[in-house]
Amino acid sequence: MTTLLNPFVDVVNQINGFPELPKGRYFNGLTPELHERYRVKKVKLYITLQKALQEVDKILEPDEKIVNMMPVTNENGSNAATSGVMGMYAAKTATAADYIKEQDSLRDNRLMIFTDRRMIFFVMIEFIDDPTVYYSYYYDRIPVLKLKKHRESIPADNNRPWRRNVLHWYTLDFQTTDKRVFTEILNVENAELFKRNLLMIPNMAKIEISDSVFRGTKFDYIFSNINFGIRANYVIFIGMGIVLGISLIIYLLTHFL
């Protein structure tokens, strides 16, 4: 249920103290009614997020400090687990039901909180319903972290295919020593924030950065590695195509020659 009027990134950046990002020509061309709808959603989301952060304070250990936060949405990250059947969610509390109505969002909005000791990650709707539903990744339990930049050239104009736009995004992937796996797609802004934290947060700076997925065991590499699964499915698909092609040729040769 992602919409182009999702204020989540703006609200998180506001709390971080970051400047508001430009929204582009589409947003500036919206009707006054849609601009007002966006403003109301933004105000309500700010209040909701502040209440969520009060619950986060209860999670923090003594003297643990929040450094900043990274907003992840279907627009700037992966939507593999937030759309279709995977994205369905039934609110358990009135607060969560109100959030769904106000923000037109089920599992679209996710938040990564960077403290001086760990990353705390949760899906907003789940955390609003139950503040015990979150994931914790301590920096000293992450031996290797994949942060790889990708580049894709796409047509800028269908009538002029030689005109191209270049898209950039990053893959973030790691496994902790206690077997917790995290995989996400980051846009350039979130990747830059992540890289800054790698330099700013002392415990985070000790993590080895790689272009490859790291898993503690071969079993984990096979069964908890999305990239490996995609490559394996591709190989299987090509293999099946070759087998079917050879079978068709044999059938034609034996029946018509």
- What pLDDT is attached to residue 48? 95
2 vs 90: which has the higher pLDDT: 90
Tens digit of pLDDT for each residue in 228-247?
443 433 334 455 556 666 76
pLDDT at residue 161 tops 50: yes
Question: How confident is the model over 175-184, as a mean pLDDT?
Answer: 91
Residue with tokens 């894709």: 152
Q: Could you tell me if residue 17 is left (phi over 0), alpha (psi between -120 and 50 degrees) or otherwise beta?
A: left
Lowest mean pLDDT among 163-172, 184-193, 199-208: 163-172
The pLDDT value given to residue 231:
43
Task: Decide: 52 and 127 in contact? Cβ < 8 Å.
Answer: yes
> What is the structure's pLDDT at 35?
85
- Which contiguous run of DSSP H or E holds residue 72? strand 66-72
**Within a 10 A sphere around the Cβ of 13, how many other Cβ atoms?**
19
Average pLDDT over residues 177-189: 91
pLDDT tens per residue across span 69-97 = 999 988 776 665 555 555 578 889 999 99
Of 145-159, 176-190, 232-246, which has the strongest mean pLDDT?
176-190
The mean predicted confidence, pLDDT, of the chain is: 82
Q: What is the reported pLDDT for 83?
A: 56
Q: Mean pLDDT throughout 129-149?
A: 95
Q: What is the pTM of this model?
A: 0.78
Least confident stretch, 17-31, 113-127, 186-200: 17-31
Q: Is the pLDDT of residue 123 over 60?
A: yes
- Give pLDDT, residue 158: 66
Burial class (CB in 10 A: 0-12, 13-18, 19+), 198: middle
For range 119-129, the mean pLDDT: 95
**DSSP track, 126-194:** HHHH-TT--EEEEGGG-SEEEEEEEEEEEES-TT-TT-EEEEEEEEEEEE-TTS-EEEEEE-HHHHHHH
pLDDT in the model for residue 194? 97
- Express each pLDDT in 21-46 by its tens digit: 777 666 777 788 888 888 999 999 99
Look at residue 147 in the predicted model and tell me its pLDDT: 94
